[in-house]
């Protein structure tokens, strides 16, 4: 048994828990995970029109996620905002 399994953490790199690390980013309709707590919605303008972005916070590791629901693009979805 070793205690040295955690690599040094860079200050600006969010440390994701396993569940967060498993989220597929920037892919439309990729699922989140069970410990994400839903926050506020906001609207943002895109080329094609307004999209809804929902804020989530992981209750496990504290990572803040945005989920963009943009029906015009397949390549948006989950992105890490910070912790
Ligand atoms: Zn997490």
Residues 20-76: tens digit of each pLDDT: 999 999 999 999 999 999 999 999 999 989 999 999 999 999 999 999 999 999 999
Say if residue 10's pLDDT is above 70: no
Q: Is 76 exposed, middle or buried (0-12, 13-18, 19+ CB in 10 A)?
A: buried
State the distance from the centre of ligand 1 to the C-alpha of 46, rounded, in angstroms: 28
The residue among 63, 29, 67 whose CA lies nearest residue 51 is: 67
State the distance from the centre of ligand 1 to the C-alpha of 47, rounded, in angstroms: 31
State the distance from the centre of ligand 1 to the C-alpha of 58, rounded, in angstroms: 5
């Amino acid at each position: 048994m070793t205690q040295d399994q955690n690599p040094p953490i860079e200050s600006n790199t969010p440390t994701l828990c396993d569940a967060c690390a498993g989220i597929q980013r920037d892919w439309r309709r990729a699922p989140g995970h069970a410990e994400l707590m839903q926050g506020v919605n906001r609207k943002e303008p895109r080329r094609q029109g307004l999209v809804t972005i929902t804020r989530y916070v992981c209750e496990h590791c504290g990572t803040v996620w945005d989920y963009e629901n943009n029906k015009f693009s397949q390549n948006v979805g989950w992105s890490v905002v910070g912790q």
